[in-house]
Amino acid sequence: MSRFCQLSALLALALPLFTTASPVDLNALLRRQDVDTPQNASLPNVTIYSTGGTIASVGTSNTQTIGYSVGLGVQQLVDAVPEILNIANIDGYQVSNVDSGRINSTILLNLTQLINAELAKETVAGVVITHGTDTLEETAMFLDLTINSTKPVVIVGAMRPATALSADGPLNLLQAVTLATSEVARGRGVMISLNDRIGSALYTTKMHANAPDTFYATEQGQLGFYINQVPYFYYEHALPTGKPFFNISGATDLPHVDILYAHQQANGALVNASYESGAEGIVFAGVGAGGLTPAYSLAAQELYNATGIPMVASHRSPDGFAPISESNGWIIGSGPLNPQKSRVMLQLAIEVGYDNEKIRSLFAGTMPDADA
Q: Does 106 bind ligand NAG (CB under 6 A)?
A: yes
Q: Which of 6, 64, 69, 105 binds ligand NAG (CB under 6 A)?
A: 105
With contact defined as beta carbons under 8 Å apart, do 48 and 154 qualify? no
Q: What's the min distance (Å) between Cβ of 100 and ligand NAG?
A: 12
Nearer to ligand NAG, 61 or 148 (CB): 148
- SS3 of 357, please? helix
Q: Which of 298, 319, 323, 355 binds ligand NAG (CB under 6 A)?
A: 298
Q: What would the x/- binding string for ligand NAG be over residues 138 to 157, using CB under 6 A?
A: ----------x---------
Q: Does 229 bind ligand NAG (CB under 6 A)?
A: no
Residues classed as catalytic: 54, 133
Cα three-residue angle 109-140-3, rounded to 5 degrees: 70
Residue 100 in marked binding region: yes
**Most distant CA pair in the chain, distance:** 65
Q: Does 40 bind ligand NAG (CB under 6 A)?
A: yes
Q: CA-to-CA distance for 232 and 251, rounded, in angstroms?
A: 37
349 membership: H or E segment, kind and range = helix 339-351
Residue 150 in marked binding region: no
DSSP character at residue 22: -
Q: What's the min distance (Å) between Cβ of 76 and ligand NAG?
A: 20
Q: CA-to-CA distance for 135 and 250, rounded, in angstroms?
A: 24
Torsion region of 11: left, alpha or beta (phi above 0 gives left; psi -120 to 50 gives alpha): alpha
State the burial class of residue 121 (Cβ atoms within 10 Å of its Cβ: 0-12, 13-18, 19+): exposed
Strand residue runs (E) in 122-184: 124-130, 153-156
Q: In the range 251-280, which residues lie near ligand NAG by CB under 6 A?
A: 252-253, 268-269, 272
Q: Does 247 bind ligand NAG (CB under 6 A)?
A: yes
The stretch among 43-51, 156-164, 186-194, 202-210 that binds ligand NAG (CB under 6 A) is: 43-51
How many chain residues bind ligand NAG (CB under 6 A)? 37
What number of CA atoms fall less than 13 Å from residue 368's CA on the CB side? Answer: 7
Q: Which of 5, 10, 43, 364 binds ligand NAG (CB under 6 A)?
A: 43
Q: CA-to-CA distance for 125 and 120, rounded, in angstroms?
A: 10
Q: Does 245 bind ligand NAG (CB under 6 A)?
A: yes
Known binding-site residue numbers: 100, 133-134
Residues that bind ligand NAG (CB under 6 A): 23-24, 26-27, 30, 39-45, 86, 89, 104-107, 109-110, 113, 116, 123, 148, 245, 247, 249, 252-253, 268-269, 272, 298-299, 301-302, 305
